[in-house]
């Protein structure tokens, strides 16, 4: 079973990249005030502060030292021993973390720009927030970064 994460508010970009890779990741800014660490028991807590490392020691948090999101991702990959087999890219909503589901093209016609609807045939949506996803150029660039980062070959 793939690990799940809880990212402190200062690690929002890292949290979005973990979601993009398919990991269940809650971000502190999306939790009710003061309830973030209640989710920690079954998740790997990611923090940038020693205070949290001490206060939440029972959760075995991971201290993230890097400032660059890709360097931070490297710290998480090493700490959680993630492998390419753990990845499920583009299976979660980047906004709310819900698993996205395929949707028929006809259902999104009025919700996406005409150019997108004409050019793409595959769409997914988030059942919670309604955000629509399609395999645009951003997807290709992200896959290239993932392949480069995890040293994947075609």
When mean pLDDT is compared across 10-19, 42-51, 64-73, the lowest value belongs to 42-51
| Domain ranges, ordered by start, for the chain | 5-86, 101-149
Q: Where are the alpha helices (DSSP H) in the chain?
A: 12-20, 50-55, 69-80, 114-119, 137-149
Selection from 40, 4, 44 nearest residue 23 by Cα: 4
What would the pLDDT profile of 102-128 be if each residue is shown by its tens digit?
Answer: 999 999 999 999 999 999 999 999 999
153, pLDDT greater than 70: no
Enumerate residues 6+ apart whose C-beta is below 8 A from 66.
72, 74, 75
What would the pLDDT profile of 77-92 be if each residue is shown by its tens digit?
Answer: 999 999 889 999 999 9
CA 66 to chain centre: 18
Here the tokens at position 138 are: 């951003």
Tell me what pLDDT residue 144 has: 85
Cα–Cα dist 98/125, whole Å: 10
When mean pLDDT is compared across 2-11, 16-25, 112-121, the lowest value belongs to 2-11
Could you count the other beta carbons within 10 Å of the beta carbon of residue 131? 15
pTM for the full predicted model: 0.87
Selection from 149, 134, 152 nearest residue 71 by Cα: 149
Task: Find out whether 26 and 43 touch, Cβ atoms under 8 Å.
Answer: yes
Cα–Cα dist 89/72, whole Å: 18
Task: Find out whether 80 and 21 touch, Cβ atoms under 8 Å.
Answer: no
Over its C-alpha atoms, the chain yields an Rg (Å, rounded) of 17
pLDDT band at 34 (very low <50, low <70, confident <90, very high): low
Q: Please give the angle made by the CA atoms of 4, 99 and 74, to the nearest 5 degrees.
A: 40
């Amino acid at each position: 079973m793939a690990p799940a994460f809880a990212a402190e508010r200062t690690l929002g970009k890292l949290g979005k990249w973990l979601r993009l890779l398919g990991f269940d990741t809650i971000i502190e800014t999306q939790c009710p005030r003061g309830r973030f660490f209640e989710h920690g028991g079954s998740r790997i807590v990611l923090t940038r502060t020693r205070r949290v490392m001490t206060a939440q020691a029972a959760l075995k948090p991971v201290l993230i030292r890097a400032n660059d999101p890709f360097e931070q991702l490297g710290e998480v990959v090493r700490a959680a021993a993630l492998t390419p087999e753990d990845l499920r890219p583009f299976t979660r909503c980047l906004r709310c973390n819900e698993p996205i589901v395929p949707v028929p093209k006809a259902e999104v016609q009025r919700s996406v720009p005409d150019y997108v609807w004409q050019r793409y045939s595959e769409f997914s949506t988030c059942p919670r927030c309604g955000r629509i996803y399609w395999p645009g150029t951003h997807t290709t660039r992200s896959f290239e970064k993932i392949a480069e980062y995890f040293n994947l070959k075609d």
